[in-house]
Amino acid sequence: MLTLAHQTNSQLHSNSNHLTTGELTRKLIHLSGVFVPVSFFYIPYRTIKILLGTGFLLFLTVDVLRLKVDWVRCIFMSIFGRYMRDYENNGITGATTLAGSAFFVALVFPKEIAALVLFYTILGDGVASIVGQALGRRRIRDKKTLEGSLSFLAVSIIIAILYRGIPFWWRVSSALVATSIELLITKIDDNITIPVGTAIFLQILKILT
């Protein structure tokens, strides 16, 4: 059956300081997902939720078919196999966990919070993976590098400064929270932990203030 990915997307951002073509392509695809939070401000939020839910179900269906039907698996692997990581061969892909997280935060949290945490997840984690694998030299936790984590923080702070719609100190503090989650929680896919954990933090701030 399906198994939740226990290796996070950014765990490889320090993997032997070797950025393969397949991994670079994978992260560029990840970064292209920035159109999702951008679309929150141009498409009605109710429509966004429907689109994200549909997308998640589509990704999940493809994963189930890939794991259960041999000919589907052959076609899928011939197209995407070079971009997949070992843990995804017998479980759901990072694309599915990201789609599920995007749908969840849009369904549960206000638009301003959901969009911000998805910016952190897509841009911060994508850049951290590329920088860590290409330039990472100082390993600080598991396979995380100082260079990768600092790049996540830098990108998240820039996003927080440029973002609008919630108080400035909420944005900056949430950037620090997202960075901490990316660095410290390594046993669960950070496509899940970063957006969900940071959104919960922001929602708590909203309730308390």
3-state secondary structure labels for all residues of 102-138: HHHHHHHCCHHHHHHHHHHHHHHHHHHHHHHHHHCCC
Q: What is the pLDDT of residue 19?
A: 63
Q: What is the pLDDT of residue 7?
A: 37
Stated pTM of the model: 0.84
Per-residue pLDDT of 133-164, as tens digits, reads 777 677 776 777 888 889 999 999 999 999 98
Indicate if the pLDDT at residue 185 is higher than 70: yes
DSSP-derived 3-state class of residue 163: coil
Q: What is the pLDDT of residue 37?
A: 95
What does the mean pLDDT of the chain come to? 86
Beta bridge partners of 141: 144
Tell me how far CA of residue 137 lies from CA of 84, 149, 186, in angstroms: 24, 12, 19
Q: What is the pLDDT of residue 25?
A: 80
Indicate if the pLDDT at residue 207 is higher than 70: yes
Q: Does 91 or 36 have the greater pLDDT score? A: 36
Average pLDDT, integer, range 16-39: 78
Q: What is the pLDDT of residue 118?
A: 97
In the structure, what pLDDT confidence band is assigned to residue 99 with cuts at 50, 70 and 90? very high
Per-residue pLDDT of 34-88, as tens digits, reads 999 999 999 999 999 999 999 999 999 999 999 999 999 999 988 888 878 777 8
41 phi and psi angles, rounded to 5 deg: -100, 5
The residue type found at 93 is T
Q: Does 32 or 74 have the greater pLDDT score? A: 74
Indicate if the pLDDT at residue 14 is higher than 50: no
Q: What is the pLDDT of residue 140?
A: 73
Report the greatest alpha carbon distance in the chain: 54
